Structure 1
Amino acid sequence: MMQYEKLLDEASSLGLSVYERYLKGQIKGLYSDNVIWMNKSLPTYAEKYCILAEEMGHYKTSVGNILDQSKINNRKQEQRARSWAYEKIVPLSKIIQAHKERIINKYEFAEFLGVTESFLERALERYQEKYGDAINYEGYTICFNPLGVIEWFEDI
């Protein structure tokens, strides 16, 4: 709940208004003209947190009406907004922090971040698409499949 509330505060500081309403069909969230609509039927704060981050990603990265996902440009904008959300709430630094906290599985990692397991899974898949199987980051090597962190010795 705390992460969701922090993100709500950040949205507000950006001039975004966030409203929770029951939305039709499978719609979990929508962004338009500095307003984010969140589906009031979202069952957990983790899901609300993930959806809010994605809708903030649309604020940061999208232009125009992209509801028609049959158009390639709209799909690209959707992907950019999701990537922004992944990097916002599952940054590489948090993967290292989880390693230091001795978190040993994706369930615990999702709990640690306050996200859903499916969001975490998609974020890790996106990182693997972007960086390959591993990336060197701040003295560590982060492996994405399987997920793991290697801590390197300093020069001796």
Structure 2
Amino acid sequence: MRYEMLLSEAFSEGIHVSEEYIEGNRIKGLYSDNVIWISDKLKTNTEKYCVLAEELGHYHTTEGDIIDQSPIVNRKQELRARLWAYEKAVSLSKVIQAHKLYIRNKFELADYLGVTEYFLEKAIERYKEIHGLTVNHNGYTICFEPLGVIEWFE
């Protein structure tokens, strides 16, 4: 369901999305000139959702050809695209919503958010790099290690 919603969002932005054979096993998706290719080797819509989110991140944040990741400027653009995807799929507000629904572990959280556990783990790592071990968001404190949400009383 989330994958289809993100496909619809891409379409409304004028982006064509195609599931195609992509040479090799490392590349799961590519973006160029308002076209996103998603590897037809991906088995689940959850995996496709995570890849599509990142490729949409490239649409919104990347300029030029960054396939060669040796220049630091290309690596920074890759990180920006991934952060866009993390904020789209694993936003701090969604983590708080999950807490309110009594979701208590990473497996349940990944399932609730419709992402893979790997994607969730990478999002948490990136949030730790940006915010440190905790962040205050909308009256809640989100702890990234161990993962949890603290609701403060007034």
* TM-score, normalization by structure 1: 0.96
Structure 1 unmatched runs, 5+: none
Q: Quick one: distance in 1 between partners of 2:138 and 2:61?
A: 27
Deviations 1:20-76 (A, max 9, x none): 111110210000000000001101111100000000000000000000011111111
Q: Quick one: distance in 2 between partners of 1:101 and 1:22?
A: 39
Structure 2 unmatched runs, 5+: none
1:10 partner SS: helix
Alignment of 1:10-49 (within 5 A): 10-26=9-25, 27-49=27-49
Paired letter, 1:140: Y
Task: Tell me which residue corresponds to 1:4.
Answer: 3
Q: Quick one: distance in 1 between partners of 2:94 and 2:12?
A: 23
Q: Quick one: distance in 2 between partners of 1:76 and 1:82?
A: 10
Task: Tell me which residue corresponds to 1:69.
Answer: 69
Count of aligned residue pairs for this structure pair:
153
Q: Quick one: distance in 1 between partners of 2:151 and 2:74?
A: 40
2:19 partner SS: strand
Q: Quick one: distance in 1 between partners of 2:45 and 2:145?
A: 27
Q: Quick one: distance in 2 between partners of 1:90 and 1:103?
A: 14
Task: Tell me which residue corresponds to 2:123.
Answer: 123
Deviations 1:70-105 (A, max 9, x none): 111111111100000000110001110111111111
1:41 partner SS: coil
Residue 121 (structure 1) shift: 0.3
Task: Tell me which residue corresponds to 1:140.
Answer: 140
Paired letter, 1:24: E
* TM-score, normalization by structure 2: 0.98
Q: Quick one: distance in 2 between partners of 1:42 and 1:71?
A: 29
